[in-house]
Structure 1
Amino acid sequence: MIPFAYSRPGGMAEAVEAVTDDPGAAFLAGGTNLVDHMKLGLASPTCLVDVREVVDDGVEELPGGGAWIGAGTTNSELAAHPLIRRRYPLLSSALLAGASGQLRNMATTGGNLLQRTRCVYFQDVTTPCNKREPGSGCSALEGYGRDNAVLGASEQCVATHPSDMAVAMLTLDAKVRVLGQSGERRVPLADFHRLPGAEPERDTVLEHGELITGVELPPPPEGARSAYRKVRERASYAFALVSVAALVRVRGGRIEDARISFGGVAHAPWRARRAEEVLRGRPVTEMAFRVAAETEFTEARPGRDNAFKVPLAINTCAAVLRSLTGVNG
């Protein structure tokens, strides 16, 4: 038995102070990721500060047509909320593609954004892992690599980010609201998760003690259509080999706006800026879809076991765009 303290703060400011003052403390909400890590020996917090009762847990419509999602909102509640289903079906689809019904009932919006990689070497404490123990080495570079990143990786880490929800939120231009001892700040989701670089142990830009309080979604573009597609080893309860979240608006036979994000291909949810730039203003054709997707992966660096991810991502992206625009492949 590994001892740890447990605290139930009276408010968010008290929770932030408790974790900031203790380098070994951690926030606890649904616990679907953290508790697993404690069981595996990946995490050993000195104190768990339970924030489930102090952070917002609902969805509200914002002036102008956007939405506010409290960090304590469960994945099940968020996926089923009428506003989300009506205005952001992309997000609802992505949430329902993740985990299982039981886990979605516990997992929270804030915790989902903070979940860590499912790389088999990160989860195996008997193997070297720079994310778990900086400077020890990356076992995945020469080991089992089917799930490894093909974009944005480094010699320090080739792990991928596991969230479905984050891929959809990235496409929707979400902003994460964070509370720390110096006050509140808003972080665009595009800047929230980090690529590994020389510090793979840092998944996000959060400082110790900063608490996610919620997520803001701007109104979706008028007339846009969106979809989420996840390719995995089995039909349910599996992480993505590749996933695609796309939002497209077509006018006069041309693509007026396009937003595309990939999951399963990088250390962070990957916004396909190059593909988006290629698509804007182009006629709605199969060729345009494929050229855009191929452009995004021109700098892909797959390993021995995961070269299949590049054509899989390109084909999946093209298929999603076809479904949104009515183009026959």
Structure 2
Amino acid sequence: MINSTITATEKRKVLAEGLASGKLLKFPGAYNALVAMIIEQLGFDGIYISGAVMSNSLGLPDIGFTTLTEVSQIASQIARVSSLPAIVDVDTGFGETMNVARTIMEMERLGLAGCHLEDQTNPKRCGHLDHKTIVPMEEMIKKVKTAAEAKTDPNFIVMARTDARASEGLDGAINRAKAYVDAGADMIFPEAMYSETDFEQMRKAISVPILANMTEFGKSELLTAKQLENLGVNMVIYPVTTQRLAMKAVSDGLKTILDEGTQESLLPNMQTRKELYEVLRYEDYDAFDSSIYNFNLE
């Protein structure tokens, strides 16, 4: 009950099969374990754990402040409650090549199905902001090779993200993506693509699965699932969507309480106690407790 009964190995196998199926896999972002449970309840393919969301949840901007310890704790809490595969953002790997190796080992040990590394310099910036700087290609190649060698489960996805579209153009991003695949990347995350044409050209050039980031208020056009599937994209993430929805609702709700002195008018917009308990499988815990303690002493 507290943990999913599906093993991490099984989740990774499901993900690997899904990426090979030709179907577009939809991975909404979860900002906590409860959201991950709702994502599964609604029938999505997997869970995405965003670095920006983790930073936001700690009251920090997404500029590389989070540590391996913090990311590990949050990611493991989310991964353990769902039978769906979970992918986590590990920024630039929390250091150089040896740090990258440890990061991969930790993510695999904690039950994640995969993670992505990016080729920005530290301190990094949100992928949809201007003035990003990226490391030399050779430096990122070393990290990708290290990550690929550090994993022990062949189905654990090592994804290489490139932020080169803004500074080196689409051709530069494609060249980097090819080099990262040659270095052992199982999947490519081309960040901040501008249009369908960008994804189309990336898909033609890259042999491994690719990911589309459909984040709001960013550089990328918000393409539909059908458009992405037709372009040959294998996975789409909606990284900050659930947090943005929640924060807007929280802000509006608190203003209502200030203005009206009660939350009465907000009740139709709330998840009910019954709905919450259904997500948490509260009755399963009650049944388990009863099965243990429903005895009488003679």
Normalising to structure 1: TM-score of the pair?
Answer: 0.23
Question: Which structure features the higher share of strand residues?
Answer: 1
Higher radius of gyration, 1 or 2:
2
TM-score, length basis structure 2: 0.25
Of structures 1 and 2, the one scoring higher in RCO (CA 8 A, sep 6+) is: 2
